[in-house]
Amino acid sequence: MSELTGKYLLGADIGTNESKGVLVDCTTFRPVCTFAVPHTIENPQPNYYEMDAEIWWSDFCTISRGLMEKAGIGPEEILAVGTSVMGCDCIAVDENCKPLRKAILYGVDARSGPQIEALLAEFGEEKILEMYGHIPASDDIAPKILWIRDNEPEVYAKAAKFLTGSSYLTAKLTGRYTIDSYLAKAAFRPIYRPDGSYNEEYGPYYCRPDQMAEPMDVIDIAGGISAKAAAESGLKEGTPVIVGTGDSTAESIAGGLVLPGTLFVQFGSTMFFIYCTDRKMDACQADHFPGSTFYTIPGSFAVTGGTNFAGSMTKWIRDVFYAEEVKKQQEGGENAYSVMASEAAQAVPGSDGLILLPYLSGERSPIHDPAAKGVLFGLNDRHTRKEINRAALEGVAYSLGSHMTLFKNHGLEPDSVIVAGGGTKNQVWMQIVADVIGLPVQVAEDWQTASYGDACMAAIGAGILKDFHALKEAMPKTRTVEPDEERHALYRKYLGIYEALYSRNKDLMHMLP
């Protein structure tokens, strides 16, 4: 932590399991202190994941006051504010920015499957590809709006705005409805055109133009903190607030994803990646290649995707197989995850022939199948929880390996791979990742999280830093995990089995509830 200088940037991120804030010293660009508030999401039925967005605002206010108290500073010492929220959420609000229903969360919520099927039936695949740039999936917001229209017509009729999470939080702070233009073009297609304007041809099918937020660059100043927001958050009225963005984008910026040719992978509750490219690429339905969309960094594009269960996979393993260690941890003993990491290291690479498909909640890319099921394959009487534990880590890494194969098939081979998020604390897991993909993995510092990225982008918006390249120079150097060639050869073989397990069994998976 840096010494106090009297001028700070505040970053706050609303994640899946907690909201986290940070104060960053605006001269050293190192964190001064952090503050976190835990919360939970709701899973009322299969494929439904949602949360009350008003909790996000309450969390932000708790964080802002907590940070200032912890650092011993006043609100006048905060120069600017940046925020992020789980990306690709759908929030319907009234004219006072009050949510009309719980926020429908990002790609993990797959309730809009029937709406996607109806779109394909009505318009045909060729037209849909023209409209969306890809076959719609669970992380597209437009089908979520259609779900509200079809299932909650009273909410749809009352909606003054259809927002995503970052738009909601920025509106609560400033009173202005804005959205990161990258997020608009990536998540709200075809409501927004590629240039960010409302699509008069396709937009009315989903909603009116006045129901959408105004696209701006993520680092643009959306406005100053309103008097009402200042009273609730403890911040100074008029403090500049940038537009903000989704958590994965913020975390990618925090980790240093500012140059084309870089793959950023976020290991949180889910695994999400952003591959920054210097060119626009078309989608390919044959192998589920998503194509690229505009990225936050001017002049660059992004290929995105991810797996539904990453940190959530390790949590499931902990809760099912390490309940006794959880109990001991609660009584002051060793952290259960540390025990798991130690035991995973004791298991041999390949988990002694055990492969786990981490599809406990369906799957996003590269298979885009909400009905996919988890599989534990190769189980025999030699296996213990150690092998199951390691197989879970390898299963998530195999998912990334499948994406690497997909990239290569489309002429993309990253110059560098940056990883960030809570999962990177598990050094055994990061070594597995490097061994599976066969490339060095640059591990961001623990504090280079989305909230840190928010604060750094606020520095650009406030003019403290010139641009994203200047931000890159201000950031710390990362540690690197080198792959082992012998283990990589083994994992290439197992990756083929991993992929075949799904392709050969998906019909059977779909027969199960």
| Average pLDDT over all residues of the chain | 94
Pull the structure tokens for residue 141. Answer: 């917001």
What percent of the chain lies above the pLDDT cut of 90? 83
pLDDT, position 2: 43
Determine the structural domain holding residue 152 and report its residue range.
8-253
Which residue in 370, 251, 271, 356 sits closest to 312, CA to CA?
271
For 404-420, how does the pLDDT look when each residue is reduced to its tens digit (9 = 90+)?
A: 999 999 999 999 999 98
- pLDDT at residue 390 is higher than 60: yes
Encode pLDDT of 289-315 as tens digits. Answer: 988 888 888 788 999 999 999 999 999
- In this predicted model, what pLDDT tens digit does every residue of 480-507 receive, in sequence order? 999 999 999 999 999 999 999 999 999 9
Examine residue 459 and state whether it is found in any structural domain, yes or no.
Answer: no
Domain of 345, CATH number, reads: 3.30.420.40
Domain boundary (221, 253, 285) is at 253
Residue 365 to residue 35: CA distance in whole angstroms: 33
Contact 8, 454 (CB under 8 A): no
**Could you tell me if 208 and 262 lie in one domain?**
no
Residue 388 has pLDDT above 70, yes or no: yes
In this structure, which amino acid lies at residue 152?
E
Same domain for 187 and 38? yes
Residues 232 and 263 in one domain: no
pLDDT at 248 over 90: no
Whether the pLDDT of residue 169 is over 90: the answer is: yes
Q: At what angle do helices 336-346 and 427-437 cross, to 10 degrees?
A: 40
Residue 467 lies in a domain: no
Whether 220 and 274 share a structural domain: no
* Same domain, residue pair 300 and 224: no
- Dmax of the chain from CA atoms? 65
Which amino acid belongs to residue 167? S
Residue 413 sits in the same domain as residue 395: yes
Do residues 231 and 266 share a domain? no
- Taking the C-alpha atoms of residue 147 and residue 223, their distance in angstroms, rounded to an integer, is 32
| Domain end position, chosen among 224, 253, 282 | 253
- Does residue 173 sit in the same domain as residue 279? no
Mean pLDDT in residue range 40-44: 95
Q: Is residue 275 part of a domain?
A: yes
pLDDT for res 4:
43
| Residues 80-104 pLDDT 10s | 999 999 989 999 999 999 999 999 9
**Is the residue at 95 inside a domain?**
yes
CA distances (Å), origin 254, targets 60, 169, 192, 248:
19, 20, 27, 10
Whether the upstream peptide bond of residue 190 has omega within 30° of 0, thus cis, is: yes
For 190, 203, 373, the CA distances from 306, given in Å and listed in that order, are 21, 27, 16
- Are residues 211 and 101 located together in one domain of the fold? yes
Instruction: Kindly report which listed range (66-70, 118-122, 123-127, 191-195) carries the lowest average pLDDT score.
Output: 191-195
Total count of domains within the chain: 2
For every residue of 334-390, DSSP letters joined together read --HHHHHHHHHHHSPTTTTT-EEE--BTBB-TTT-BTT---EEES--TT--HHHHHH
Q: What confidence tier does 6 reach under pLDDT thresholds 50, 70, 90?
A: low
What secondary structure letter does DSSP report for 424? G
pLDDT over threshold 80, residue 1: no
